Amino acid sequence: MKWITRERPKIDRIACPWLIRKFVDQEAEFIYVPFEQVLEKAAKYNAVPFDIPDVEFTHYEDQCTFDYIIKKYQIEDPAVLIIAGIVRGADTDLHDIASESAGLWAISAGLSYNITDDHKLLEMGMVLYDALYSWASHLYKQKHLTNSPFENLLHEVYNKFLKDKKTAGKTPSWVKDLKDLIQDQIDAQFAFDLKKISNELDLNPSYLSREFSKYFEELNFGDYVRKQRIEKAVNLIENTSYTLTEIAYMTGFSDQSHFTRIFKAHTGKNPSAYRKKIQKK
């Protein structure tokens, strides 16, 4: 069976082919074409279009195409279900869905940046998802013997939170530390699983989530990080000559269309219109 989607894949358009070949059709063939040609070429090659709007194999509400394929073909492998959350978080820029989502996005974006041939990129992606599947099947519960310096810093911040949470009427000291920490990590695709940290520190996750929004502009973690990314993008547009594609990469968005959609939602203008407005001043 032939499958077809838009060119320059990163997350879903690599993950879905891996899933299809491993669980649906080992001989499946994948074709990448410009977005505007997908449906035309699908008819020409008798191929199944996927991961574009208004087709069967696409996003539904908060679920990505990878999720739909799992549902469509009733794939119940526990490792695949673990991977699904990671893919969903990486593909939708909601890195708090799974702590591994940011890492998957960073690696996938880097591969896409380095490899311009989509089919060579797919070959490399197959290796990547085979490795992720092995991890989810056999190593999911395994942890490093020691925490990284960054993990230790997170624990230090939240230990301060534990000490400060009883102080009424004052902003806990962990708030400033965490704000600085988030800002420092924006360029590095900072991912933070509030539920996981809550469990490690023996805190109620809903309580911690509620406290976060209280001190971070009434936003949840994912929304706050996206806001910071857009503010960084605005600064880059106003003060540098980077292309919009470069700015999208630098601010952690999975592709240009995703960047444009989120940017417009925050500023009321798409990035190109915003830049033109700035240039006229």
User: Per-residue DSSP letters for 125-139?
Assistant: HHHHHHHHHHIIIII
Q: How confident is the model at residue 163 (pLDDT cuts 50, 70, 90)?
A: low
- The CA distance from 171 to 262, in Å, is 30
Residue 118 near residue 7 (C-beta atoms within 8 A): yes
Looking at the predicted structure, is the pLDDT value of residue 167 above 70? no
What would the pLDDT profile of 232-266 be if each residue is shown by its tens digit? 889 999 999 889 888 888 887 767 788 898 899 99
Spatial distance between the Cα atoms of 248 and 187, rounded to a whole number of angstroms: 11
Listed in sequence order, the residues at least 6 apart from 232 whose beta carbon sits closer than 8 Å to its beta carbon are 186, 250, 251
Judge whether residue 197 has pLDDT over 60. Answer: no
Q: Within the chain, what is the greatest distance between any pair of CA atoms?
A: 67
Average pLDDT score over residue span 100-118: 92
Report pLDDT for 277: 87
Residue 222 confidence (pLDDT): 74
Tell me the chain's radius of gyration from C-alpha atoms: 21
**Nearest Cα to 220, choosing from 231, 206, 202, 234?**
206
How many C-beta neighbours within 10 Å does residue 253 have?
Answer: 25
What domains, with CATH codes, occur in the chain? Answer: 2-139 (no CATH), 149-218 (no CATH), 223-280 (1.10.10.60)
